[in-house]
Amino acid sequence: MSNQDVRQDTMLLVEDLSFSYSGKKALNQLNFSINSAECTILLGPNGAGKSTLFSLITRLYDSHHGKIELCGFDVKKQTGQALSKLGVVFQQTTLDMDLTVMQNLRYHTALHGMGRKIAQQRIQQELERLNMYERRSEKVRQLNGGHRRRVEIARALLHKPSLLLLDEPTVGLDVPSRESIVKHVHQLVSEHGLAVLWASHLIDEIYQDDQLIVLNKGEIKAKGNISDVLKITNTSSINDAFKYLTQGEAK
């Protein structure tokens, strides 16, 4: 495979990325990539830098050292083209509680310039995948946390992004809702070739084929598949490896 082929398959490229708040370094020289049909779990405790990384990828924060590319587009120099390839579900809900499910999703399709017919088709498709189409006329306020998350995931996929960012989307949800969302996202990866970067601190959301990035205090402590991380840490479980990488180095 040529370098060009590898580049085309790379949905997210982060090179030598650093960021500081008021002189205090929050991220220090991060390097990683995510390919199509690949789910990468970004593990880290609170304060590790996960949300800062997401803010840089989505351009909520601007000034940084290093490079971020989405599908080959530089997020600084080619912002519109880069962000058009991205779908995002933030930890805090961003739905309008007083609008219906359908109104929230139609507003999103309008922002992306979709015609009414294609917008309707995509809304129905994504809601049906998540078993939410029959609730399209309900106000978001009437939905429980798990169903609101499903609507946000549907919204993030309406414009057919190549990369989906999930910033701890299952926090506060009950176990069945969490399991349903985790399963659905992994199906999108395996069946539709979506690339996913999923920030979490929940070990049980990891599937066997996932890639892992363990982030602590703004630095990548380990990355690779489960076997790679277990080998690096000389541990027998991801839970033990995570504890070692985030707590054990000072011991």
| pLDDT tens digit sequence for 146-162 | 999 999 999 999 999 99
- Chain centroid to CA 171: 14
Centre a 10 Å sphere on the Cβ of residue 147 and count the other Cβ atoms it contains.
19
Residue range 10-40, pLDDT digits in tens: 999 999 999 998 888 999 999 999 999 999 9
- Domain map of the chain by residue range? 3-85+162-250, 94-160
- Quote the crossing angle between the two packed helices 175-192 and 145-157, to the nearest 10°: 20
pLDDT of residue 7: 43
- Chain centroid to CA 249: 28
pLDDT of residue 3: 39
Q: Check residues 86 and 63 and name the one with the higher pLDDT.
A: 86
Q: Check residues 21 and 107 and name the one with the higher pLDDT.
A: 107
- CA dist 63 and 146 (Å) reads 35
Does the pLDDT value for residue 201 go beyond 90?
Answer: no
In the CATH hierarchy, which fold is given to the domain comprising 3-85+162-250?
Rossmann fold (3.40.50)
Express the helix, strand and coil content of the chain in percent, nearest 5 each.
40, 25, 30
**Torsion of Cα atoms, 51 then 57 then 63 then 69, to 10°:** 150
Which amino acid, 65? H
Mean pLDDT calculated for residue range 53-74:
91
> What pTM was estimated for this model as a whole?
0.90
Q: In the sheet that 24-35 helps form, which strands lie side by side, from edge to edge?
A: 24-35, 10-21, 65-70, 73-74
Does the pLDDT value for residue 247 go beyond 90?
Answer: no
